[in-house]
Amino acid sequence: MPLVVAAQDAALPAFKEIDSVEARVQGCVTCHGQSGQGTNSGYYPRIAGKPAGYLYNQLVAFRNGTRNYAPMNYLVAYLPDAYLREMAEHYAKLRPPYARRDPGNVDPALLARGEALVKTGDPQKTIPACAACHGAGLTGMQPGIPGLVGLRPTYLTAQLTAWKVGERKAAEPDCMKRIATRLTESDIAALSAWLARQEPPQDPSPESANLVRMPFACGSQK
Amino acid sequence: MRLGVRIAIGVVVLAALAIAVVLSMQPGALPSKPQQPHAAAPASGAANAETLLIQKGEYLARAGDCVACHTDPEGKEFAGGRAMPTPFGALYSPNITPDEETGIGQWSSDEFYRMMHSGVSRDGSLLYPAMPFASYTKVTRADSDAIYAYLMSVQPVKQKNRPHELKFPFNKRELLIGWRTLYFKEGEYQPDPKQSEQWNRGAYLVEGLGHCSMCHTAINALGGSKESNEFEGGMIPNQNWYAPSLTSNREAGLGDWDIKDIADLLQVGVSKRATVYGPMAEVVYNSLQYMTDADAEAMAVYLKSLPKRDAEPPPTSQARLVQPSVMEQGRKIYETQCSMCHGSDGKGHPPSYPPLAGNQSITMASPVNSIRMVLNGGYPPGTKKNPRPHGMPPFSHILDDDEVAAVVTYIRVAWDNSGTPVAASQIPELRKLLPE
């Protein structure tokens, strides 16, 4: 049954057909936006265009309690795998425009450290480059590695810190844990600041799997 | 993550009853060796008697929702260890897999029945009433044996039980004798010959394995509930959801509902009249979606027949007065944020989006559930008959306390709804709670 779309605001409920995946995922929109592009709040990430496998792993982890964020744990607590997969595939296909980048002033030395970590890593500390797994364009890699572009510093800092302290984890072997525990707080600030200031890519699609040998083995890429 | 722990009840009291009654209830005539061999996986799927018994037991274990409490969110099925916060401290559910050492592998069917029927463990200790033995006592011996056979057939898991963390004096099990005297009536379900077979089946499931009264009957300060108040509703301790009265037409009384809508709500999770969220979503997800159509309908028939007992008179027109400015604020928020799914007329798009007009769970005396839904949103459970439910988003980060109060007030009084206004001062306490 066709319905009038009530509002264009990204965070407001809106859909055309009741019997559609758009209508079913209205539970996501006030935080992640109508097309998964994110909303005004810096803490809620853009989810559009991330690999379906990554989004699915997160939904399952929220449901099973292996990733902790109470509002998400609550929302997906009683949803079956097949439906979580459908939600993940829905958002993975979307390509909404990116929000404006963070224009804040940041110490150039910090940005330089961020850029170095992203592009070349820190061999002294055995930290591989972010781009080695998250893609040359930082748009992620199929099936399980998320893109880093279009994320804001609040979210990036919170997540990297959560990995570092062991609050966030992934399937073993947990490559991201190995990396995050090597990062200092200052490294995390540098990465978040640099990543949040990058131009969005022409093609936001994640890279195909197996184009590159990954520096660390990752359970989510199996 | 905390799936709604719906026990809470129980742990009881005791402080008031600190009459140290130190009786020991040792298992006198119980056999010391297990009577039955462990049932292995049924051979080649042939429907022999043992297979049928195990299948029946699996179904009944679903009806009793054993898995919800006896499985830790990150643990193995039936291995226990799930934390159950209660006002008296934390309880941890035990391992009920057939592991010889750490589970119930050495239990006999007699011992299992005594536990279900009398609330006494194999070693003679009294169970805390977080285990709903006050309901399970109604289960027949034959059904208890089937559940036993099923549990003996599942994968054994070696996992030691975690000791409870109850504060003194609640850690004294002897005090449970006082609780039992007050609140426990032992006895299998006795069919009412004046009622139909269907009604009796429904009553058996609702009062027995379903243990609905654990949440839908108010619990007093002693962690007990009175039979005379059965199904009259109450706050679920430590979960802060309100379990509506099943006997009041102002709450979730089902007197004027179609049987199909009641059965749908139980088994599908959504219906033309209402939708389940929160702790009831867990019950539907883990338990009720697996009920046969016949059993869901039987439960509906029984629930619809519950006597109507409104504990309180309807609110006076004075109590229902709303400041015009609040009403207007609420209406504006509703039109912007809510009307897309629930309609300007409040009729919703059932069963996808529930109606708010004429919805008792919106207008009932306690506004807690409505406030929590506005703050945290929610998804109904994904069930066999509704595997892709429609969800509602959270608004806690968008609306301030005044706005939440205004929009909840609006839905409680608009469209001739019979609710009362909500004050902004009621919001902060619920906003602080983690969604669960």
On whether any CB of chain B is under 8 Å from the CB of A70, the answer is: yes
Could you tell me the two tokens for A207? Answer: 């890279």
Report the alpha-carbon distance of residue A172 to residue B358 in Å, rounded. Answer: 51
A116: part of which helix (H) or strand (E)? helix A108-119
First to last CA, chain B: 8
Closest Cα in chain B, distance from residue A11 (Å): 9
Q: Which residues partner with B242 through β-bridges?
A: B235
Tell me which fold the domain A21-93 belongs to. Answer: Cytochrome Bc1 Complex; Chain D, domain 2 (1.10.760)
- Position B202 scores a pLDDT of 97
Residue B49 burial (CB count, 10 A): 7
Average pLDDT over all residues of chain B: 86
Q: For residue range B171-194, what is the model confidence (pLDDT) as tens digits? A: 887 778 888 888 889 999 999 999
Average pLDDT on A182-205 reads 93
Domain assignments of chain A as residue spans, ordered by start: 21-93, 108-221
Query: What residue type is B175 in one-letter code?
Result: L
Domain assignments of chain B as residue spans, ordered by start: 9-183, 197-305, 324-432
Tally the C-alpha atoms within 13 A of residue B420's C-alpha that lie toward its C-beta: 16
Q: What is the 3-state secondary structure (H, E, C) of B271-321?
A: CCCCECCHHHHHHHHHCHHHCCHHHHHHHHHHHHHCCCCCCCCCCCCCCCC
Tell me which fold the domain B197-305 belongs to. Answer: Cytochrome Bc1 Complex; Chain D, domain 2 (1.10.760)
Which residues, in sequence order, are CB contacts of B290 under 8 Å at separation 6+? B59, B62, B63, B384
Measure CB to CB from residue A18 to each of B1, B337, B352 and give the nearest one: B352
Closest Cα in chain B, distance from residue A164 (Å): 20
Q: For residue range B246-303, what is the model confidence (pLDDT) as tens digits? A: 776 666 667 788 999 999 999 999 999 999 999 999 999 999 999 999 999 999 999 9
Could you tell me the two tokens for A193? Answer: 């600041």
Residue B40 pLDDT > 70: no
Contact B81, B67 (CB under 8 A): no
- Angle (CA) B344 B347 B350, round 5°: 130
Average pLDDT on A173-202 reads 94
Tell me which fold the domain B324-432 belongs to. Answer: Cytochrome Bc1 Complex; Chain D, domain 2 (1.10.760)
Higher pLDDT, B36 or B82: B82
Cβ burial B177-192 (10 Å sphere, 16+ → b, else e): bbbbeebbeeeebeee
B339–A7 C-beta distance less than 8 A: no
B91: part of which helix (H) or strand (E)? strand B89-92
Topology match between the domains B197-305 and B324-432: yes
Closest Cα in chain A, distance from residue B65 (Å): 14
Listed residue (B199, B304, B191) closest to B253, CA to CA: B304
Contact B207, B138 (CB under 8 A): yes
The strand pair at B165-166 and B242-243 is best described as unpaired
Nearest CA in chain B to A73: B1
A/B interface, count of CB pairs below 8 Å: 120
A65–B436 C-beta distance less than 8 A: no
A28–B1 C-beta distance less than 8 A: no
Whether omega for the bond prior to residue A143 falls within 30 degrees of 0, making it cis, is: yes
Report the alpha-carbon distance of residue B250 to residue B363 in Å, rounded. Answer: 7
Contact B15, B92 (CB under 8 A): no
Percent with pLDDT over 90 in chain B: 65
B341–A27 C-beta distance less than 8 A: no
pTM passes above 0.90: no
Closest Cα in chain A, distance from residue B243 (Å): 18
Report the alpha-carbon distance of residue B314 to residue A219 in Å, rounded. Answer: 59
Mutating which of B239, B336, B388 best tests the A interface, going by the most A Cβ atoms within 10 A?
B388
Confidence band, pLDDT 50/70/90 cuts, at residue A32: very high
Q: For residue range B347-403, what is the model confidence (pLDDT) as tens digits? A: 999 999 999 999 989 998 899 999 999 999 999 999 999 999 999 999 999 999 999
Q: Which CATH architecture has domain A108-221?
A: Orthogonal Bundle (1.10)
Higher pLDDT, B204 or B167: B204
Percent with pLDDT over 70 in chain B: 84
The interface residues of chain A toward chain B in range 85-114, judged by CB-CB distance below 8 A, are: 86
Match 């844990």 to its residue by tokens.
A177
Collect all residues of chain A within an 8 Å Cβ-Cβ radius of residue B65.
Answer: none
Confidence band, pLDDT 50/70/90 cuts, at residue B219: low
